[in-house]
A and B are shown apart, each in its own frame.
Chain A
């Protein structure tokens, strides 16, 4: 092996420590480029994780069916207030659609709930016994109401964490009687904590009762607001959507020329779309950052050209004592690679710092992962070698006699 690699490294480090400010300014482009790559990717990764979280918290492969406008009578009524969906629709969907695993019809109302003189305005949701499965929302204490209790329109309630703490404070709510519209309900369960949904609403501010009880005793209606459906698997949501559409059109006797009188929101699909667009956004930002890396590379090329000229005499001396073209080329390539790598490492540290600042100072969540760090290191090495090549080649092609004569 000719010329130990370590000595080239040592010599490269010497060059930089001698010219600290110049080295720093030279690598500023790389530093900014890498820092922005790391920071933007961390924002993108944070957003992806957030979306993934939302997908998971929404429920198992969930579809939401909403009533649509009915053309009957020619009156178009407002969204959600029409009466096209019924409890039997929900039952039929579960029974007749093979791609559907569970369904629950829901009625949602804002109501005052009272316990021993404590009064709390919350959302009361009437739903089916499969609610906990579909929403991936198990109880923390007690039990959820079963199919039988739904069938008999029992006066039982399961309470969310926020509503529970507002009404009961630190007392365990299970077993107590609460009043909804002056009707007594026995609290049989406490839901686990769900947190805030994507719209910033507190999901835990809720009291859940059987949908039948809701219809007959509270709301006095025969239709439902929404139907939650859980597909058999995440890949079956579109199939389930098609089966439900066909079934509901048949049940509602919709003529072929008529539009659907309901809407289906495929939440998994929506979330995946959001995830894809956030990925696209990240790639776009990273591409912009990569451009600044290229600018940084040009900075390195510039300073390496200056350095080669300044050190013409040194090159001549090295050639006189036996350095080949390859030795000189290698020496300067290593120098520019180290210079760029050094910028890359500082950039990674700065980028991680910026990403930390963003997540503490703004509502955005950021995640710094290993891949962008590795990619940045490799990328800055490549930038150094690529942009260092021309100056190093120029150095290696010098004529020893002329290089020695240079003052």
Chain B
């Protein structure tokens, strides 16, 4: 199974609020081949973000095993997970999540600094990434000086700048109008097709999910559908 980039075995996630335990994910089994464009759908509270956080190594599963590029990462320390996030995973969030105090170019450079890449090289790599997402002349602008669509492109540039092999996008179009949403989706699709980056997308809009080839549907913390078929309206 050389081609499998992500393999989940019986993943479970439990949240504790006060004395109450809540099972946000139950017995998740999932194989994602390298270069796939997968969308995760489901009702609000079905566990999409929870799954995404585990896949993105932001959080550790309560049970089960997670193999990322063949390596069991479910028991790694937070520092080892930080290194994986830095080198393997890029994030695109609903709220863009750019650091307001840093300029556009500095935001894109951020993962490179934590990777220990020198200032000159980092700057060059960031500029290349910025070109890929078609934003020009905004290098030294600050996030609040550019549009939401542009901010999300900057976030995509930040996600791919360190040559991540996976992009985790949690409702990346949630804060954008439909024109800009499709624009962003085209960028993600292009990144998937041209650079072979595996993309995992969380959305609850079918037309957004239709950019992907494979659709996974969650309900109450379980995968109820995982197919390559065309979407049936929910």
Give complex CA distance A250, B85 in Å. 95
- Contacts known (A324-B83, A404-B58); A313 close to B114, Cβ less than 8 A: no
Given contacts A3-B116, A4-B119, A317-B99, contact A322 B59 (CB under 8 A): no
Specify which chain A residues have a CB less than 8 angstroms from the CB of B114 in the assembled complex: 2-3, 318, 321-324, 327
Pair A18/B91 contact, Cβ less than 8 Å: no
In the complex, whether A319 has a CB less than 8 A from a CB of chain B is yes
> Interface digits, A323-338 against B, CB 8 Å rule (1 contact, 0 not)?
1111100000000000
Decide yes or no whether A374 CB sits under 8 A from chain B.
no
Closest-by-CB residue of B relative to A323 is B114
* Complex CA distance for A316 and B97, rounded to whole angstroms: 9
Q: Check if A4 sits within 8 Å of B101, measured CB to CB.
A: no
Q: Is the CB of B101 within 8 A of A314?
A: yes
B residues 114-162 with Cβ under 8 Å of A? 114-116, 118-119, 158, 162
Query: Which residues of B sit under 8 angstroms from A138, Cβ to Cβ?
Result: none
**Alpha-carbon gap, A287 to B189, bound state (A):** 66
A1 in the interface (beta carbon within 8 A): yes
Q: What residues of A have a CB within 8 angstroms of the CB of B87 in the complex? A: 322
User: Which of A4, A313, A400 gathers the greatest number of chain B CB atoms within 10 Å?
Assistant: A400
Our pick among B110, B118, B162 for the contact of A318 (Cβ within 8 Å) is: B110
Interchain CA distance A164-B4 in the complex, whole Å: 107
Cα separation A322 to B85 with both chains bound (whole Å): 5
A: contact size bracket: 20 to 34
Cross-chain contact A319 with B82 (CB below 8 angstroms) = yes
| B58 touching A320, Cβ below 8 Å | yes
User: Which residues of chain A come closer than 8 Å to B91, judged between CB atoms?
Assistant: 320-321
Tell me which residues from 41 to 96 in chain B have a Cβ below 8 Å from any Cβ of chain A. 53, 56, 58-59, 78-79, 82-83, 85-87, 91, 93
Most buried by B among A318, A321, A325, A400: A321
- Nearest CB of A to B202, in Å: 14
The yes or no answer to B221 lying at the interface (CB within 8 A) is no
Please, which residues of chain A bring their CB within 8 A of the CB of B102?
A: 11
Give A314 to B158 CA distance when docked, in angstroms.
15
Interface membership of chain A positions 302-324, coded 1 if the CB is closer than 8 angstroms to chain B and 0 otherwise = 00000000000110111111111
CB <8 Å contact, A321 and B119: no
Tell me, in angstroms, the Cα distance from A320 to B58 when the chains sit together: 7
Cβ of B79: which chain A residues have Cβ within 8 Å of it? 324-326
Complex CA distance for A404 and B100, rounded to whole angstroms: 14
- A352-407 contacts to B, CB under 8 A, are 399-401, 404
Chain A residues within 8 Å of B116, by CB: 1-3
**In the bound complex, what is the Cα–Cα distance between A49 and B114 (angstroms)?**
54
CA distance A1 to B119 in the complex (A): 12
Q: A4-B113, A404-B58 are in contact. Are A322 and B83 (CB under 8 A)?
A: yes
Interface contact A322-B93, CB-CB below 8 Å: no
A3-18: CB near B (< 8 Å → 1, else 0) gives 1101100010011001
* B111 adjacent to chain A (CB < 8 Å): yes
Of all chain A residues, which has the CB nearest B114? A322
Chain A proximity of B61: nearest CB distance (Å):
12
With known contacts A2-B116, A321-B86, A314–B93 Cβ distance under 8 A: no
- Measured in the bound complex, the distance between the Cα atoms of B116 and A329 in whole Å is 17
Do A314 and B83 contact each other (CB < 8 Å), given the known contacts A7-B113, A322-B111?
no
Residue of A nearest to B158 (CB): A321
Nearest CB on B from A299, distance (A): 22
Chain B contacts of A314 at CB under 8 A? 99-101
Q: Can you list, as one digit per residue, whether each of B28-40 has a CB less than 8 Å from chain A (1) or not (0)?
A: 0000000000000
Which of B97, B113, B162 is close to A320, meaning CB atoms less than 8 Å apart?
B97
Asked, given contacts A4-B119, A401-B59, whether A324 binds B97 with beta carbons under 8 Å apart, the answer is: no
With A317-B99, A318-B110, A322-B83 as known contacts, state yes or no: A401 contacts B53, CB within 8 Å: yes
Assuming the A-B contacts A320-B91, A404-B93, are A15 and B101 also in contact, with contact meaning beta carbons closer than 8 angstroms in the complex? Answer: yes
Instruction: Tell me how far the C-beta of B68 lies from the nearest C-beta in chain A, rounded to whole angstroms.
Output: 15
List residues of chain A with CB within 8 A of the CB of B93.
404
CA distance A322 to B112 in the complex (A): 9
Assembled-state Cα–Cα distance A241/B174 (Å): 95
How far apart sit A1 and B116, CA to CA, in the bound complex (Å)?
6
Decide yes or no: A321 and B111 within 8 Å by CB, A15-B101, A313-B97, A401-B58 being known contacts. Answer: yes
Q: In the assembled complex, which residues on chain A have CB atoms less than 8 Å from the CB atom of B158?
A: 321
Q: List residues of chain B with CB within 8 A of the CB of A11.
A: 101-102
A15 to B101, CA, bound (A): 8
* Bound: A4/B59 CA distance, A: 27
B-side contacts of A4, CB under 8 Å: 113, 118-119
B101, B118, B162 — most chain A CB neighbours (10 Å):
B101
Interface residues of chain B, those whose CB is within 8 Å of chain A, are 53, 56, 58-59, 78-79, 82-83, 85-87, 91, 93, 97-102, 110-111, 113-116, 118-119, 158, 162
Across the A-B interface, give the 10 residue pairs with the lowest CB-CB distance, nearest first.
A322-B86, A322-B114, A321-B111, A2-B116, A324-B82, A400-B58, A324-B79, A401-B58, A401-B59, A314-B99
A-B contact pairs, 12 of them (CB 8 A): A7-B119, A317-B99, A320-B58, A321-B114, A321-B158, A322-B82, A322-B115, A323-B82, A325-B78, A325-B82, A327-B114, A404-B97
